[in-house]
């Protein structure tokens, strides 16, 4: 059972994800998506979706946030939040779940997924729940212990 996130952390994740959604590059769809990754050290890294007219070049907000954290040398996460400016909650897509799963194996712990809507309401799930027994570096026999800073 994952430890629930504290209210102040949820507030910080919401602000970061909403802020990032405002910077999304979304010429294809009317609304942008924002995301925020929470590290095990309670640092937050934002990301937004980037769409392109040529398919396959764009990136989801969750991936962008994870790449942002990686670029800052952070590989161990407690949570990934995703914000969509609608009453509807959106869940990370399959590719994002796979990417989150890869990083859950860095410290061999589940990662909370927080879905935030435009009413500042939350829905919670986790990568292990959404992608049970997912394939990743540990399953493939790769030694990724060098990336685990907070074991």
* Active site residue ranges: 62
Is 50 or 106 the residue whose CB approaches Zn ion more closely?
50
Is 96 or 107 the residue whose CB approaches Zn ion more closely?
96
Of residues 86-105, which lie at the interface with Zn ion (CB under 5 A)? 93, 96
Of residues 51-70, which lie at the interface with Zn ion (CB under 5 A)? 60
Taking each helix axis as running N to C, give the angle between helix 61-71 and helix 7-22, from 0 to 180 degrees, rounded to the nearest 10.
110
Is 93 or 139 the residue whose CB approaches Zn ion more closely?
93
Count of alpha carbons within 13 Å of 63, Cβ hemisphere only?
A: 14
Buried b (16+ CB within 10 A) or exposed e, 67-82: ebbeeeebbbbbbbbb
Q: Which residue is nearest to Zn ion (CB)?
A: 60
d(CA 122, CA 124): 7
Q: Do 8 and 40 meet the contact criterion of CB atoms below 8 Å apart?
A: no
Could you give the string, one character per residue 12-51, with x where binding to Zn ion holds by CB under 5 A and - elsewhere? ----------------------------------------
Residues in contact with Zn ion by CB under 5 A are 60, 93, 96
């Amino acid at each position: 059972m994952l430890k629930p996130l504290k209210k102040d952390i949820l507030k910080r994740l919401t602000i970061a994800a909403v802020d990032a959604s405002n910077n999304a590059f979304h010429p294809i769809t009317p609304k942008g998506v924002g995301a925020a990754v929470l590290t095990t050290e309670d640092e937050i890294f934002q990301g937004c979706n980037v769409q392109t007219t040529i398919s396959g070049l764009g990136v989801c907000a969750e991936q962008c946030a994870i790449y942002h954290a990686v670029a800052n040398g952070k590989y161990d996460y407690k949570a990934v939040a995703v914000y969509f400016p609608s009453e509807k909650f959106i869940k990370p897509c399959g590719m994002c779940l796979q990417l989150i799963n890869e990083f859950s194996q860095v410290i061999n712990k589940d990662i909370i997924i927080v879905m935030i809507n435009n009413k500042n309401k939350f829905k919670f799930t986790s990568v292990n729940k959404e992608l049970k027994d997912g394939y990743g570096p540990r399953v493939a026999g790769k030694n990724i212990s060098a990336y685990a800073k907070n074991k």
